[in-house]
Amino acid sequence: MDTLPSGIAELFDHAPVGLWTAGPDGSRTYFNRHWLSFTGRSLAAERENGWTEGVHADDFERCLGTYLRAVHGRRAYDLEYRLRRFDGEYRWMHDTGVPHYDAEGTFVAYIGCAVDITESRRAQEERERLLNDAEAASRAKDQFLATLSHELRTPLNAVVGWAHMLRSGKLDPAGTERAIETIDRNARAQSQLISDILDISRIVSGKLRLNVRPVDLTPVVEAALDTVRPSAEAKGIRVQAILDPAAGPVSGDADRLQQVIWNLLANAVKFTPRNGRVQVRLARIDSHVEVRVEDTGVGIGTEFLPHVFELFRQRDSSPSRQHGGLGLGLALVKHLVELHGGSVECASPGEGLGAVFSVRLPLMIMAARDDAGVHPTADTGAAMPPAPSLEGVSVLVVDDDPEARHLITMLLGERGAKVIAVASAWEALRALETDRPDVLLSDIEMPDQDGYALIRSIRALPAERGGRIPAAALTAYARTEDRMQALLAGFHLHTPKPVDPAELAAVVASLAGRTR
């Protein structure tokens, strides 16, 4: 079948797939236009066994063997292999061939069709990957629930057991002291487990809020060190701290950042054997502040390293594992660091060779103000500048939290302001019409209509109906993108909670000085 009838050849050449024919010995005699365009080779180069030059080396023996066995057995075949395209890329082909007999029943040729299935294979591989990931996640969650039950019951067992011994009255003073210490230690351990679970739940649901302000990380790291030192000393682990006090401030929640560093240090102590070493460094790296925790512990294998920060994943989750815990600590670290606009990385040369965790947080650019400076994590007794008087200023406060409304009303009222406090956006729009306030302070997260929608509605009003009222977003959303979103929505200022009373008064005074 060296040539095709003209009508058949024209049909073959317009087919959107590769078509070919071969003689009784399997030697290819014809390839249509689509095949030749795909390979970028001439018909002469592809004929006979020339086409096999484009087959991937890893598929060559399998492809040619299957093809020749089918030819010799005069039976149909179905085969997938990689074929080199004109641009050098290997593409997966689905090649099928069937024997062709003449009117007398003589085997005279093979006719075949080759279809590029690369994209469908990739889609199938992606489906399989997603299915495997889902199954792995399901197994991890099941294992997590089993571990959760174990970790919650273990301290309870100690508490119940020692409480029973105390109730019996059979303990001597030393035994009583041991019972109290054991109950206290296990109650604290369970409290920490529950706190981690609740924090993860808040993060996953988007309900974790940060109390953002300028933070000096040196006392934050020192406080975390003070917390882990007793457990480190109990194992004879040497803890080194190399802290640069001039590393610079970051914008964040001091308590949550201490939680991040404590988790990393506690993790290092937990997985470092007796008489090992844990080191923490604080330094400025370009426009970031870096906290680096390094240990001489058990290390992390290359296969688990990519999963270190994943929820419900532990390097060893078997019943015989040496280290307890739910495995939430590092997942919590990652989420908290990212909420601060930072990043966290883990590196390890391998099992038994220790690990290094590096947290990078963006350096805060301080405004050039007389009272600028890092907010201390503890009261330093520094005098605050006197807050301005707000006599004669009418302030509309919008917040769905009744305690927040009451607090702001009290703080501004002490400065002489008249405060109209409402709980929702629609109440705010009504108050804007009836009370004509001078300044608007609005929360962002509120039911029904949030602060962004409220300020957009107000800015759509004419000036005589309050459309140009000076406004500040008073919110716990304190990231840079949150500030930009507030300003773009129509607020003049973005003030993160919690706000200092004097700063709040200054914000209102500044806004009241604007021309409506």
- CA–CA distance, 205 with 140 (Å, rounded to integer): 20
Check: CATH 1.10.287.130 for 139-205?
yes
pLDDT at 12: 83
217: part of which helix (H) or strand (E)?
helix 217-234
- CA angle at residue 510 from 505 to 512, to 5 degrees? 95
**C-beta separation of 512 from 493 below 8 A:** no
- With tokens 């099928």, the residue in question is 96
> For the chain, how many residues are written?
516
SS3 assignment, position 291? strand
The answer to whether 35 and 43 are in contact (CB under 8 A) is no
Tell whether the model's pLDDT for residue 70 goes beyond 80: yes
Maximum Cα–Cα distance across the chain: 111
pLDDT in tens, 151-178: 666 667 678 778 888 888 888 998 899 8
The model's confidence at residue 381, banded by pLDDT at 50, 70 and 90, is very low
**Rounded mean pLDDT, 462-473:** 93
CATH homologous superfamily for 213-362?
Answer: Histidine kinase-like ATPase, C-terminal domain (3.30.565.10)
Residue 209 DSSP SS3? coil
| Both structure tokens of 107 | 């085997």
Q: Tell me the pLDDT band of 231, cut-offs 50, 70 and 90.
A: confident
For residue 2, pLDDT beyond 90: no
Residue-wise burial string across 299-317, b where 16 or more C-beta atoms lie within 10 A, e elsewhere: bbeeeeeebbbbbbbbbee
**What are phi and psi for residue 7, nearest 5 degrees?**
-65, -40
pLDDT at 487 over 60: yes
407-458: per-residue pLDDT in tens? Answer: 899 889 989 999 999 999 999 999 999 999 999 999 998 888 899 999 999 9
Judge contact between 269 and 237, C-beta under 8 A.
yes
pLDDT digits (tens, 9 = 90+) for 280-333: 999 999 889 999 999 999 999 888 888 888 876 655 443 333 444 556 778 889
Cα distances from 364 to residues 250, 252, 427, in angstroms, run: 5, 9, 37
In single-letter form, the type of residue at position 465 comes to R
Of 479, 475, 477, which Cα lies nearest the Cα of 499?
Answer: 475
Separation of alpha carbons 334 and 390, rounded Å: 43
Q: What is the CA radius of gyration of the chain?
A: 35
516 has pLDDT over 50 = no
Residues of the chain with CATH 3.30.450.20: 6-116
Q: DSSP secondary-structure letter at 465?
A: G
Backbone phi and psi for residue 501, each to the nearest 5 degrees, phi listed first: -55, -45
Is the model's pLDDT at 31 over the cut of 90? Answer: yes
Q: At the topology level of CATH, where does 394-512 sit?
A: Rossmann fold (3.40.50)
- Stretch(es) of the chain classified as CATH 3.30.565.10: 213-362
pLDDT at 146 over 70: no
Instruction: List for the chain the helix, strand, coil content (%; round to 5).
Output: 45, 20, 35
Question: CATH 3.40.50.2300 region(s) of the chain?
Answer: 394-512
Q: Which two tokens stand for residue 5?
A: 């009838």
Residue-level pLDDT at 67: 92
Q: DSSP letter at 418?
A: E
For range 107-124, the mean pLDDT: 93
Comparing CA positions, the residue from 90, 109, 91, 92 lying closest to residue 100 is 109
Question: Residue 380: its pLDDT value, please?
Answer: 32
CA angle 477, 478, 479 (to 5 degrees): 110
The strand ranges marked E within 297-434 are 343-347, 355-362, 394-398, 418-422
Strand 90-101 with 107-116, pairing:
antiparallel
Residue 289 β-bridge partners: 284, 361
CB 325 within 8 A of CB 301: no
Q: Tell me, what's the pLDDT at 386?
A: 57
pLDDT at 339 (0 to 100): 87
Output the pLDDT for position 3: 58
**Across the chain, what does the average pLDDT equal?**
84
φ/ψ region of 225 (left if φ > 0, alpha if ψ in -120 to 50, else beta) reads: alpha
Mean pLDDT score, 491-499 = 82
- 73: pLDDT strictly greater than 50: yes
At 369, is the secondary structure helix, strand, or coil?
A: coil
Question: Taking the mean position of all CA atoms in its chain, how far away is CA 447?
Answer: 26
Mean per-residue pLDDT for 131-153? Answer: 71
Segment 107-125 shows an average pLDDT of 93
- Residue predicted with more confidence, 208 or 1: 208
Of 70-74, 224-228, 353-357, the least confident: 224-228
What is the homologous superfamily of the domain 6-116 according to CATH? Answer: PAS domain (3.30.450.20)
d(C-alpha 97, C-alpha 78), whole Å: 7
pLDDT at 109 over 50: yes
> Above 60 in pLDDT, residue 368?
no
Q: What is the pLDDT at residue 283?
A: 94
Could you give the angle at the alpha carbon of 401 between the alpha carbons of 400 and 405, nearest 5°?
Answer: 95
Percent of the chain residues past pLDDT 70, beyond the cut: 86
The Cα angle at residue 62 between residues 58 and 67, in degrees rounded to 5: 135
